[in-house]
Every structure is written in C-alpha cells, then in structure tokens.
Amino acid sequence: MAKSFIHYDTKNNIQYASVYTPSRKNGKKDNSPMYLGRVLDKDNGIYKSRQRGVFKYTLEGGFQECTDQEAASVETVHEEKLILDFGDAFLCDSLVRSSEYNEVFTSFLDNKKDADTLISLAFYRVLSHEANCYAADWYQGSYARIMYPDAELSSQRISEFLEKIGDEALQRKFFRNYLSVLTNGKCKNGILIDSTGLPNQIDFPLTALNNHAGVVNNEVRLIMITDKATGMPMYFRYNAGNIVDVATLSTTIKELQLMNVNADLAIVDSGYFSEENIKMLYSEKIAFLTRMGSNRKLYKQLVEDNADDLTKSKYIVIYGDRILHVKKVETDLFGNKGYAYVIIDENKRRDESEKYIKAAVEDGVTADEMDKELKKKGIFILVSSEDIDTADIVPMYYTRQQIEQVFDISKTSVDLLPLRVHSEKTFRGHLFIVFLATLIRIIISNKLTDWNFNTNASLIAMRNLKCKVFDNHILVKEPTKKMKNIAKLAGITLPSILKRGKKNLGN
C-alpha cells in the first residue's frame, strides 16, 4: 500500500505544503490532498494556516501544538509585521491594571470600542504632549494599538468621542464608582479645594473676564477637589471665568455630598474666606483651615495686637529649613469660636523688610512710620475652627501643595492647556480625559518614588524599549539596565515574548 507523503509547492517565493494519502473511494483512486498551509520550518515540520494558526505536523505524529518559543522563532524569520514603542505603554497599562482603580476606568462604558478609545486617549495624554490631531500617528507606533485594538483616534472620531464622554450622566456614573473606591467606604473625608484659571479665547458661555490676583484673563475657572489622606484628585467642577472663588465653596461642598462624599475637614486658600462660607462650614460641622487675606479687618487687628511679642523665642517653630514664629490666639469668627495662628516667616520677613527699607529711605519715610510697617513684614495668618498645636498648623496647611501638584501635572504633564474645544460638552469631555490622565500619571509617579527616577525621564527611557509584532506573537527587545531598574521599582516584570490575541497582552 502506498504511503502518505508531504508535497511542497512554491508560489511567489513562499512555500506551501499538503499531505497526500493514496486511497480508494468507491473503487476508484482518491488522492485528495489535506492542505497544511504555509511552510515556516520544513526541517522541524512547522506550518501555519488560517484555521490552525502556527502548528507542527509530522506523518508519524500528526498534528501537534507549537511552544511559544518555537512559534516566535519561525515567525521572526518569516512574518515580522512592524516594530512598536513598547515599554512606556506597557508600564502604564501594567500599573493601571494593578491599581485599585482599574475596574472603575471603563466600567461605566457599555462597549469595548469606547473603552479602548478612552484608555488609549488617556495614555496619549500621559505619554505624548502633542495635539489630539496627532493621536492616530502616536497610536500606530505604540504598543497601545495591540492592547486596545478597537480604539478610534482620528481627529474626527476624537471630537465625537469627547462630546460623548462629556455627557454629565456618564461622568456622574464614573465618579460614583471612583469615589467609592477612593474613599473606601469612609463616612467622612478630609478634602482640599482650590481653583485655577484656564485662559482661552473660545466663544462659548463659560469664557469670561477674570481678575485673579491682579492678572486679567479671558478664562474658564476650574475647581479641583483632592483627597487629603492620599493626595489623589477626587472630583472637578468648572464655572464661568467671572465667578469668583468665594461664591463657589458652598455649591462644591453640596455637590460632593450628592456624590456621597461627606467632608469632615476642608483646607482652602484665602480666596474662599468670607462670612457666608465660614458660617456654612460651622453649620455643616465641617472643620476648616484657611489663610486670611491681609485686607480683612480681623487680620489687621490680630497683627496690631500680636506683632510686638511674636518674635519671642517661645513661639519658635522649625518647619523644614524655615524658622517660623507661631502664636495661637482664640478669636471670634462671625459669632463662632475659632482660632487664629499669627505667623512670621523669618526668611520672608528679611526679604520683605530689606526691600521695604530701601524704598522707604529713598522716599523719606519717617522712622516711626517705618517701625510701624516693619512690624507687618513676613506675617501671615491662618484661621481654623479647631485648636491645633502650633507645631502642626503650618504642615497641615501646606498639605495644600498636593492640590497644587495636581494642577501642575494637569497643565504641564497631560496637556490641560491649551483648550481646543468649541462646545461645553466637548470641554467637559476634555476635562474628563485630563482628569483620568492625571490620575494615571499620579499612579505612575507614586510607584517611581526613588530620587533617581524622574517620572518624565523614566517614561522616555521606557519608550526606547521596542517590540516586534508577528502574526501570533510579540517579541520584546532586550531591556537596558536602566529599563530593568525602572521596571523593578514599578513592581512589574518585563516579558521577552507575548502571545498575541484579542485580549490585552500586558497581563
């Protein structure tokens, strides 16, 4: 009886194989071949077909599965498709997936296309600093296209997506999920509130003239709320540029309450200090700490009453490398018992005094007038509803730097500005993408805490880790020592080979 044999055929320099098994059917010879597919490794019997993918076949053993290494080795020779930036996107994806916030990023969306677009666009904001019109070009060269294959990042699609994701009900669904994870079910939370101007010339109702600290701009006002315990951004609001900070505090507190965030402590800047706001915080039983503006009558009275003995050694507090004098004074805050903390910063006092003396001497100011003014130099006043130790009051107030860092990341690292939107809905969508990108950036920075690893430099270094994409596998190039150290610090393992499929390959 004739034996089976493998027949090889070459077309367009590509070799194909079929198995022939001579037999008889209804009394006639039947030599119908069994098609194996493209020959990848003739010596080791490795083939590829649409039905089976990459596989092994021998006449003796029949069909067998290939190991990943065997499949990748033959694909490397035959079917390299493209080379992509791998390390930076893989780092972002791995850290997001290992964070407690992973589920909330896309759980509020109802289809994979939107989820892939959202994450890819957020990664683009973290990993690139170009306008959205270049997002598709970035995506084509990034491993993100393999992890999130259904993303649509053309300029037109991004504009449509920003409008879709700007839907208030959709964002509310996200924030309920996100805040539930962030607060971990706590009944009360310490919060930091601040605002920043977003200068723009967009012709829509939110754009208005604002005079903030003497600087006049056409702008929208963005309000950010940060969790005091973790430094993570919690929520954002926005208003027309001509609505001043002092008018927004009550609504911000109420909106947070409607999102199931009940603050027990609010730390805010002097722009929120007013009789109405202080009374509101007392009535809501929210402890507070804020700076008092120097134009207030109470401020001037506290300076007048306490400046003379404030420099006594018993009031000295060391804060970092700064020498402070802090005096606590019980005071009346619009009918409520409160505490004022009158503070001199020695460095600030020296600088302000030197500048003032030079000008005063030139202007012929009298000695008595100079003495009176010099008492005020370097002084600032914090007020609180709580009796706080003088050694703790300044560090507590300067937790506000957390929210300033959030604004800094939003503006310089994930491109909050310039605004390139033309409706309130797309504006809200843009702010939402920036919020997510800021959250991702903070997740990364919190992992790369070693002083040797600046986040920007680390992401740039990781971008240089490339991968080669084949039909069924992805081969990752050899990482440098620096890349290995970054991965170790981030707590992730850099793969050498990944099996390609429909699911995220970063797992």
Q: What does the pLDDT read at residue 281?
A: 97
Amino acid identity at 437: A
In this structure, of 45-49, 112-116, 125-129, 435-439, the range with the lowest mean pLDDT score is 45-49
In this structure, of 18-22, 92-96, 195-199, 340-344, the range with the lowest mean pLDDT score is 18-22
CA distance 212 to 241: 10
Q: Is the pLDDT of residue 103 over 60?
A: yes
pTM as predicted: 0.80
Q: Quote the distance between the C-alpha of residue 133 and its chain's center.
A: 21
Mean pLDDT computed over 143-154: 94
CA distance 270 to 383: 10
Mean pLDDT computed over 139-156: 94
- For 453-463, how does the pLDDT look when each residue is reduced to its tens digit (9 = 90+)? 789 999 999 99
Is the bond preceding 395 in cis, omega lying within 30 degrees of 0?
Answer: no
Provide, rounded to the nearest whole percent, the portion of the chain with pLDDT above 70. 93
Measuring CA to CA, which residue among 506, 467, 473 is closest to residue 48?
473
- Between these two residues, 453 and 137, which has the higher pLDDT value? 137
Query: Is the Cβ–Cβ distance between 292 and 328 less than 8 Å?
Result: no
Q: What does the pLDDT read at residue 306?
A: 93
Q: Over the chain, what is the mean pLDDT?
A: 89
Query: Is the Cβ–Cβ distance between 54 and 472 less than 8 Å?
Result: yes
Q: Is the pLDDT of residue 451 over 70?
A: no
- For 334-354, how does the pLDDT look when each residue is reduced to its tens digit (9 = 90+)? 999 999 999 999 999 999 999
- Between these two residues, 195 and 452, which has the higher pLDDT value? 195
Provide the residue ranges of all domains of the chain, joining segments of one domain with +: 5-79, 83-155+448-499, 169-413
CA distance 428 to 421: 9
Q: Is the pLDDT of residue 182 over 80?
A: yes
Query: For domain 169-413, is the CATH number 3.30.70.20?
Result: no
Q: Is the pLDDT of residue 471 over 80?
A: no
Q: Is the pLDDT of residue 507 over 50?
A: no
